[in-house]
Structure 1
Amino acid sequence: MLFAAGFGTRMGALTADRPKPLVPVAGRPLIDHALDLAHDAAAAPIVANIHYRAAMMRAHLAPFGVRISHESPDILETGGGLRAALPLLGADPVLTLNTDAIWSGPNPLHLLQKQWDPARMDALLICVPGARVAGREGPGDFGMDAEGRLHRGGDLVYGGAQMLVTRDLAEIDRPAFSLNLLWDRMLARGRLFGHVYPGAWCDVGTPAGIQLAENLLEHGNV
């Protein structure tokens, strides 16, 4: 599942005439970098949710055979968007990937596939130590215990790549909601896990993030 429905308001004028996933980084649209990771991990089917400038997104993704979950009339956020896309995705577990980040290092989806343990986990999140993060200000999202269980607060930044089971989505009684609501349920059960990414990562949420991401791709570190 590629999350590609947002408005990209922090990009300012760059998203006045295009959706954020089509903003170029190193000469290619952001979403193409995410598609490279999905294809390399042999993820199938690939689904993208769209909303803002939906026709442009459809046209761009058509040659790649990506299934489309069009959120209309309202955007559904990450949790609602994933739930709406479930008929297109197939059985659990599901990989999800944000399309507004650049990675330098191993494919995070490969790491998720390798580390996934359904006996212990309802979700496994790729997390990046703050020292290897670019384009992101503020505190981290999570800390991790010796067994890999996550807790709120700490230096680890969620990188926007995860593997998870989706059964709890049916129990959330609102159309639009963040995946944080799902994670809170998993946290309470002790089944939200993380894997520390060994490379570097850049959040491309603002125009300044584009140069940071291009520097990361060229040099391999933040």
Structure 2
Amino acid sequence: MSRTPERRGAHGAGLQVAVVAGGLGTRLGRLGTRRPKILLPVAGRPFLDLLLAPLLDAGLRRFHFCLGHLASPVIDHLDRLPASVEVTSHVDTVARGTGGALRAAAPYLDDMFLLVLGDTLLDIPYAGAHRWLGPHDEAAMVLTSADTGVRPNTRVHDGRVSGYDKDAPEDPDTDGPLWTDTGVCVLRRAALRHLDPHQDPVDLGVLFRTLIRRRTLAAHRTDRPFTDIGTPERYARFLDGHEHPAP
């Protein structure tokens, strides 16, 4: 697997995908100490294979993985992907958070790329993802209106994300519905300059709130549900849906 930084345009073999999958898995308890979240089994397959499926179906073939905790088994699995899939990776040896991990990946990233969090799954059409950004947008966050068991955390005004707080309850006195951040986003690499290079760990929410203030975070809305396996309860619910699908 190549780990040499190489920059390309947004097209060619399709939009590059950056997968952030180096977290400690603290919320998963014992599950997160035995194997990386992205390799947790689902109906006999690692979650990573399910995450990749809609991206590969859309013709996306270039991936960069931001790794850290328990990186070796992830790299071993990536080495077994078909030769047509181009993969680079870097391994953080300190806890950087989701924002810090992405900032550290900058030398490997295209000018525009698709960000996917490694514990989330969203099956939507990705082939036209590069069009989610307007000419003055620095990023486009994918939001869903579906009830997925994850607290809605995002507000939209005039096609842009106007509020973002993963821990905020819905405020009935505030106009407009709340949407749920799906863990998928299209970003311009230049947006990463807004992250303090000396701050670790740092969450992606810090970057998103900066882009909201700059009015450069577009909203790409869908009604498709998404999956987050970041807690034991959500992982168990996802397993149940795959092992006992609705008739």
Identical counterparts, % of pairs:
26
Q: How far off its partner does 1:124 sit?
A: 0.6
Query: Over alpha carbons, which structure has the higher Rg?
Result: 2
* Matches of 2:128 and 2:234, distance apart in 1: 25
Length-normalised TM-score, structure 1: 0.84
Shift of 1:43: 2.8
CA distance in 2, matches of 1:200, 1:170: 31
Give the structure-2-normalised TM-score: 0.76
Q: How is 1:55-134 mapped onto 2 (pairs within 5 angstroms)?
A: 55-64=72-81, 65-72=86-93, 74-89=94-109, 91-103=110-122, 105-107=123-125, 109-110=126-127, 112-113=129-130, 115-129=131-145, 131-134=146-149
Unmatched tracts of structure 2, length 5 or more:
1-17, 165-176
Counterparts in 2 of 1:87 and 1:44: CA distance versus 1, 3 Å: farther
Query: Which one-letter code corresponds to 2:112 in the other structure?
Result: P
The equivalent residue for 1:206 is 231
| Deviation digits for residues 71-101 of structure 1 (CA, Å, limit 9, x no counterpart) | 11x0221222112112222x32111001212
Partners of 2:127 and 2:239 lie apart in 1 by 23
Which has the higher mean CA deviation after the structures are superposed, 170-179 or 15-24? 170-179
In structure 2, C-alpha distance between the alignment counterparts of 1:61 and 1:144, rounded to whole Å? 36
**Which residue matches 2:215?**
190
Q: Deviations over 1:124-164 (max 9, x none)?
A: 111112x4213x2x4x221112x311111552110000101
Structure 2 distance, partners of 1:106, 1:17, is 31
Post-superposition shift, 1:175?
A: 4.4
CA distance in 1: counterparts of 2:161 and 2:132, whole angstroms: 15
User: 1: CA distance between counterparts of 2:246 and 2:143?
Assistant: 21
CA contact (8 A) 1:127 1:158 kept: yes
Partner of 2:51, secondary structure, is helix
Check if 1:148 corresponds to 2:169.
Answer: no
Give the match for residue 174 of structure 1: 198
Question: C-alpha displacement at 1:48, in angstroms?
Answer: 0.6
Q: Which runs of 5+ in 1 are unaligned?
A: none
CA contact (8 A) 1:47 1:67 kept: yes
User: Distance in 2 between the 1:44 and 1:84 partners?
Assistant: 22
Aligned residues: 210
Query: In the alignment, what sits opposite 2:168?
Result: none
Give the CA deviation at 1:44.
4.2
Aligned to 2:49: 32
- Contact (CA 8 Å) 2:99, 2:203: kept in 1 or not? yes
Q: Tell me the secondary structure at the aligned position of residue 133 of structure 1.
A: coil
Alpha-carbon distance between aligned partners in 2 of 1:26 and 1:10, rounded to the nearest angstrom: 22
Cα-to-partner distance string for 1:170-189 (whole Å, 9 max, x where unaligned): 34232422222222222122
Check the 8 A contact 1:126/1:195 in 2, yes or no: yes
Quote the offset at 1:25 in angstroms. 2.0
* Distance of 1:83 and 1:10 partners within structure 2: 23
Which residue type is aligned with residue 132 of structure 1?
A: D
Larger fraction in helix: 1
**Residue pair 1:112, 1:162 contacting (<8 A) in 2 also:** no
Mapped contact 2:132–2:140 kept (Cα < 8 A): yes
- Distance in structure 2 (CA, Å) of the matches to 1:185 and 1:205: 25
Deviation, structure 1 residue 5: 0.2
What's the C-alpha RMSD, in Å, of the aligned pairs? 2.2
Q: Give 4+ residue runs of structure 1 displaced > 6 Å after superposition.
A: none
